[in-house]
Amino acid sequence: MAKKTVTVFRGDGIGPEITDAVIRILNAAGADLDYEIYNVGEAEYEAHGALIPEEAFASMERNHVLLKSPITTPVGRGFRSLNVFLRKKYDLYANIRPAKSNHAVKTPFQGVDIVIFRENTEDLYVGVEEQIDQDTIHATKIITRGASRRICRDAFEYARAHGRKKVTCVHKANILKMSDGLFRDVFYEISAGYPDIEADDKIVDNVSMQMVMNPWQFDVMVMPNLYGDMLSDLASGLIGGLGLLPSSNLGENYAMFEAVHGSAPDIAGKGIANPTAFLWSACMMLEYLGQMECAARIRRSVDRVLEEGAFNTPDIGGTATTEEYVNEIIRLL
């Protein structure tokens, strides 16, 4: 059987470093993959006038699977997030972010195992803003029944398929009674079809407190776009940081896999970037493609390296370089 070809965006900041590291590990693990690799992002724009080359779009539309490293997004100016653009363009409506403790990475919160389902195409992230006058800006929040139904259904389907016991809806329906109220109502409509799974809901500010008081109460969580972005970052803090949080972005026809963290330009080129979140995102890609054993081998090797600790990168308490960390994972493979 022919190898599966996937599209790879190397990004900027630490993106190229961790991309090269992850592809080395995938090849060492025997992943049944070929790669079409493209430079994208701010550096590509400055060099060639396009954030994403046309041939990179064509590759994504040919292969339907994208492994995307971090891309710098300007704050308060310039172009909108390419992540948001790609999610909208390819209708990657389900952003799945699993936050699971690794006992080798010491934090005050051991045994956390939360999977966040974030609706990816609506809410304030539609980016519709209007300047009313010199001192007033309006931003539009959009919630639809259709988008709410499919993300809530995916959360319950995931819970059932993975033996999870509870799905929690996160909202602000006490204030946003119509928009978040619709999301909450749809959640309970969908939950009726899954009587074997407990369903509850909580207000987002309460959840923020509960996650650092008692994160073990949460199992699968589903929420609109903005809350998912915030709470998944909070969840990463429970398990040791953004360097350990992977994600998938799934739609009906396309899939994109990326680390949750940004491009970290402050450490770019220093050789100390942690590729774990991006590597685990690649493992989620392997699992999506049915290459379960290859993903499991990589996960086992990473767990051993983290547990031994001698080759951990600085962000998780070690002193190793990216290359030393990657070499040790490959040695164990």
**What are the residue numbers of the active site?**
125, 172, 205, 229, 233
Q: How many residues does the chain have?
A: 333
Angle value at C-alpha 43, between 9 and 313, nearest 5 degrees: 65
Task: Please state, in angstroms and rounded to a whole number, the distance separating the CA atoms of residues 215 and 311.
Answer: 29
Taking each helix axis from N to C end, the angle separating 292-308 and 276-288, rounded to the nearest 10 degrees, works out to 160
Question: For the chain, where are the alpha helices, taking DSSP H only?
Answer: 15-28, 42-48, 54-63, 82-89, 145-161, 179-191, 204-213, 225-239, 276-288, 292-308, 322-332
Q: How far apart are CA 57 and CA 236, in angstroms?
A: 30
Residue 9's SS3 state is: strand
Alpha-carbon distance of 220 to 159, in angstroms, equals 7
Q: Which DSSP string corresponds to 262-277?
A: ---TTTTTSS----HH
The DSSP annotation for 212-265 comes to HH-GGG-SEEEE-HHHHHHHHHHHHHHHT-GGG-EEEEE-SS-EEEEESS---T
- Beta strands 33-38 and 4-9 are parallel
DSSP letters, 47-59, are HHS-SS-HHHHHH
CA distance between the termini of the chain: 24
Phi first, then psi, for residue 52 (nearest 5°) are -130, 120
